[in-house]
Structure 1
Amino acid sequence: MTDRLPHERGFHISWDQLHRDSRALAWRLEDREWRAILAITRGGLVPAMIIARELDIRVIDTISVKSYHGKGGQERGSVSVLKAPDPAVMQDGDGILVIDDLVDSGRTLEHVRTMYPKAHFATVYAKPKGRPMVQTYVTEVSQETWIFFPWDMALQYVQPYRGED
């Protein structure tokens, strides 16, 4: 028996797809002036970099929030901030664009929203339970779908379905 994720559905995102989807998110956000981007680490770092480039935003900070625990980060636990951004830049969040790769349950973004209530929250991908936490997203996936981001995967040999090599 092999160890598998406890999710029946998988959605594999390539680097190219993530780049296209992050640019699409930037297009949806270009009608406003942003003072800064707040990237939620770790998943929000790559989309934030792409969006910052597309929208010519030079001030970027990070917030490190941990809400998944256990082996492989599959268990949801309490939300804790491991690293907070510069309060002088963030203030109450007005003019701040908060970026993450995915909103799942919404717990992480809900916690960050209490810190920066006037910020605009955007994710590349959204699941139904967390969707109310974001103002802007690109693609919705079902709640039971597990998204495999490019940094979660590696090239490796796969045994053929039948026979041997």
Structure 2
Amino acid sequence: MGQAEFGTGKTEEHCMSKPDKERYSWKQFEDDCETLAVWARGKKFKSIFGIPRGGLVLAVKLSHLLDIPLVLNREDITGHTLIVDDIADSGGTLERLKSTFGGHCAIATIYKGENPRVAPDFSLRVKREWVVFPWETEQTSRYDETV
């Protein structure tokens, strides 16, 4: 039994049980932000809120593209606020937001899981494997916590 990842102490068998990783690039992010901005422009949002921590980079970029202010506090979310996140996997975060704000908010994500409990109003991609975003590091992607 050999070491599959140098210095981690994880065996080849342990590493083979992990899901594959998809590395999402800055180029993909730029392209997806442009697509999301086209969708959002038709909705006349007045502000944008990024779900910490994965939605913050997306929210800042879209704030610039749409020329609308970034909302930093949940208390400032209105029916004209676009809420964004990088991924809606299980849908738990979106479920909590929808129960808090009801149907008075729109939620957009880059990725959504195949069967989230609550789906975003708009998403660009379906998550089929573990996604590592360019603003994450191997240590912060929580990849190792899935096994």
Alpha-carbon RMSD: 2.1
Name the amino acid aligned to 1:52: S
Higher relative contact order (CA 8 A, sep 6+): 1
Residues 1:38 and 2:49 are matched in the alignment:
yes
- Residue 106 (structure 1) aligns with: 91
Residues 1:130 and 2:113 are matched in the alignment:
no
- Residue 139 (structure 1) aligns with: 125
- In the alignment, structure 1 segments of 5+ residues that lack a partner are 62-84, 155-165
TM-score, structure 1 as length reference: 0.68
Counting matched residue pairs gives 126
Contact residue 103 and residue 131 of structure 1 kept, 8 A: no
Higher-helix-fraction structure:
2
Tell me, in whole angstroms, the C-alpha distance in 2 between the residues paired with 1:40 and 1:135: 15
Higher-strand-fraction structure:
1
- In the alignment, structure 2 segments of 5+ residues that lack a partner are 139-147
Identity of aligned residues (%): 27
Correspondence for 2:107 among 121, 131, 150: 121
Contact residue 7 and residue 146 of structure 1 kept, 8 A: no
Alpha-carbon distance, 1:130 to partner? 2.0
Tell me, in whole angstroms, the C-alpha distance in 2 between the residues paired with 1:32 and 1:50: 17
- For each residue in 1:5-24, what CA deviation from the matched residue of structure 2 results, as whole angstroms up to 9, or x when unmatched? 95322111112221221221
Tell me, in whole angstroms, the C-alpha distance in 2 between the residues paired with 1:20 and 1:112: 27
Name the amino acid aligned to 2:57: V
